[in-house]
């Protein structure tokens, strides 16, 4: 194991990472922090420059990582003292209490976006800074413009001939239409501070057509800027950046395809040899990413570690199958939920099961290879992860940015857990049967009480009545009772025979119809016969003249 000399005051280290990639950053830039420096920092006693990054340093310390270099520059705003790790997309904004906020300026729509809608008290200073730059369409130093500025300073201030310069972007509401830079001066490797106010530079501003040097004594030097040159440099740089990103994307896609191919081949080899079981697939993918895929020794070491895990833990379906239990996974989990050994929380783990409390005696919540993360998890949520360096299962100490988990049960404890579940199910079933029986008894009792209160013996008036059968007669349905005191039997009508009444009505209606029809036919026949005799009478009278 290598041992490096680190200095937490000057933030220096002898490791290759610091010497090759971090050495050139100034002492107030967190990119200067390699993992060895971070490991020796006292979280509760950070310098004024580093106190802004307290939570990030704590996170990188737990992961044994160096501070990320994945941002463009460090920007400090003067009014509220915010530190911004500026980039072209999402940016981190820090206040002097170590609180961190995520910020994005959507230049296409000219909108400000804050992660989780959480903003610092003076958030308007941040928004104004980026809006003003966007609205003014300013262009910062391009091409050899910094060299031109340095030559201009040395020409107008002769005492600066041996001084080297660097420029740190700042912000001021007084110069909202231009970029403002503080000037850092060095002679060789030492920081240089000008004592004479006549030669001391206060700051530099750059707008579209002019570069100005403001002196401490109030003098201002300026010269005209070639804006067309700056614009052409910027367009060229943007084109080169786009081409670079495209090349990187092509290289990444090619490497990803090669990696997936090798990973698939090694997974198949592990399965064929019986080393890899279904549940370990996510663990395999995570750890094999850490391993150098071209070194068989590391691969073999990982296979041995995962084989050891499979001896200790298994998933529920495999254990239920091996135990030949007829209990389903759903019933098993439902019972454990009733026992308060597992639970679901809508805002955690994609609402999947989590082992809690006494359930942790029998299993673990193991971190899986997932693209989803929980930003923070509560203390009761115990997560186990596969350490990529030691290839051992360890408890996840960090409570932020934790991946989703799945449940693995201990092989040597599952039989005991299964017995507990079976016993609980039996007790629940017995209790349910008792409750159902009591429900039926109560139902029958309520029915008896309902009819009993209105019935008494017709002979002796006793209420000691036994309910007998029902009988159906032509006039309706009756309920028969027997008095338990005088033994007499009596009955009460409880329902009219609706069907019989309907039949009687139909017969009566039919008779009326028939009667009406008969009377109508008789009258018609008599009328017809009368008319016939009248015709004969008139004929005889006319022909014979006998009838006067």
The CB-side HSE value for 158 (13 A sphere, CA atoms) comes to: 0
What single-letter DSSP state applies at residue 25?
S
Alpha-carbon span 402 to 398, nearest angstrom:
8
Q: Taking residues 463-469, what's their average pLDDT?
A: 83
Q: Residue 208's pLDDT is what? A: 80
Q: Phi/psi of residue 469, each to 5°? A: -85, 175
3-state helix, strand, coil in the chain (%, to 5): 45, 20, 30
Kindly give, in sequence order, each residue whose CB lies less than 8 Å from that of residue 289, ignoring residues fewer than 6 positions away: none
Place of tokens 């008290």: 121
User: Distance of CA 243 to CAs 236, 249, 256, 283, Å?
Assistant: 11, 10, 20, 36
Distance CA 192, CA 164 (A): 9
Give residue 12's pLDDT. Answer: 93
Residues 6+ apart with CB under 8 A from 328: 320
Per-residue pLDDT tens digits for 231-274: 888 888 878 888 888 888 888 888 888 888 887 787 777 666 65
- Strands 190-191 and 179-187 turn out to be antiparallel
User: pLDDT per residue over 56-77, tens digit each?
Assistant: 999 999 888 999 888 888 888 8
Contacts of 423 (CB under 8 A, 6+ apart): none
The reply to whether the predicted model has a pTM over 0.85 is no
Interval 364-375 mean pLDDT: 81
Q: Domain ranges in the chain?
A: 145-225, 314-422, 455-502
Q: Which residues pair with 363 in a beta bridge?
A: 409
Helix (H, G, I), strand (E, B) or coil at 87: coil
The lowest-confidence range among 30-39, 57-66, 445-454, 513-522 is: 513-522
Token reading at 185: 């001066």
CATH architecture of 455-502: Single Sheet (2.20)
Smallest CA-to-CA distance from 140 within 75, 69, 49, 219 is with 75
User: Is residue 387 pLDDT above 60, yes or no?
Assistant: yes
């Amino acid at each position: 194991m290598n041992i490096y000399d680190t200095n937490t005051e000057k933030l220096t280290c002898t490791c290759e990472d610091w010497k090759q990639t971090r050495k050139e950053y100034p002492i107030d830039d967190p990119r200067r922090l390699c993992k060895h420096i971070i490991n020796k920092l006292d979280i509760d006693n950070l310098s004024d420059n580093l106190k802004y990054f307290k939570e990030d340093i704590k996170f990188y310390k737990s992961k044994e990582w160096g501070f990320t270099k994945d941002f463009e520059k460090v920007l400090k705003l003067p009014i509220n003292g915010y530190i911004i790790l500026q980039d072209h997309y999402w940016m981190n904004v820090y206040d002097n209490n170590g609180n961190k906020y995520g910020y994005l300026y959507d230049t296409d729509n000219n909108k400000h976006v804050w992660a989780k809608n959480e903003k610092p008290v003076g958030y308007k200073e941040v928004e104004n800074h980026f809006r003003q730059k966007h609205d003014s369409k300013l262009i910062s130093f391009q091409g050899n413009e910094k060299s031109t500025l340095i030559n201009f300073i040395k020409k107008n201030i002769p005492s600066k001939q041996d001084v080297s310069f660097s420029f740190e972007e700042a912000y001021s509401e007084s110069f909202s239409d231009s970029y403002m830079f503080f000037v850092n001066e060095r002679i060789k490797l030492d920081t240089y501070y000008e004592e004479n106010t006549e030669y001391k530079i206060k700051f530099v501003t750059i707008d579209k057509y002019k570069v100005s040097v403001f002196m401490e004594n109030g003098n201002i030097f300026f010269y005209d800027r070639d804006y067309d040159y700056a614009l052409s440099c910027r367009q060229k740089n943007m084109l080169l950046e786009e081409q670079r990103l495209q090349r990187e994307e092509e290289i990444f896609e090619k490497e990803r395809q090669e990696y997936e191919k090798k990973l698939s081949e090694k997974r198949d080899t592990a399965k064929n040899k019986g080393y890899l079981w279904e549940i370990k697939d996510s663990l395999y993918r995570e750890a094999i990413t850490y391993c150098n895929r071209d070194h068989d020794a590391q691969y073999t070491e990982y296979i041995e570690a995962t084989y050891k895990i499979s001896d200790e833990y298994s998933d529920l379906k495999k254990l239920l199958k091996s135990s030949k239990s007829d209990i389903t996974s759903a019933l098993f989990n439902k019972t454990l939920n009733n026992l308060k050994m597992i639970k679901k929380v809508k805002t955690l783990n994609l609402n999947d099961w989590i082992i809690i409390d006494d359930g942790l005696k029998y299993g673990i919540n193991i971190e899986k290879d997932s693209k989803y993360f929980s930003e923070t998890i509560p203390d009761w949520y115990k997560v186990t992860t596969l350490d990529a360096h030691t290839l051992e299962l360890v408890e996840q100490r960090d409570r932020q940015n934790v991946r989703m988990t799945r449940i693995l049960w201990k092989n040597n404890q599952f039989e005991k857990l299964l017995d507990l579940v079976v016993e609980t199910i039996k007790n629940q079933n017995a209790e349910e049967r008792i409750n159902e029986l009591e429900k039926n008894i109560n139902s029958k009792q309520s029915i008896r009480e309902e009819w009993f209160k209105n019935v008494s013996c017709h002979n002796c008036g006793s209420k000691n009545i036994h309910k007998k059968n029902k009988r159906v007669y032509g006039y309706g349905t009756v309920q028969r009772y027997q008095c338990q005191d005088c033994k007499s039997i009596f009955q009460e009508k409880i329902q009219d025979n609706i069907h019989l009444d309907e039949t009687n009505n139909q017969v009566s209606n039919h008779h009326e119809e028939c009667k009406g029809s008969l009377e109508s036919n008789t009258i018609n026949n008599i009328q017809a016969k009368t008319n016939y005799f009248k015709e004969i009478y008139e004929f005889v009278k006319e022909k014979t003249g006998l009838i006067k």
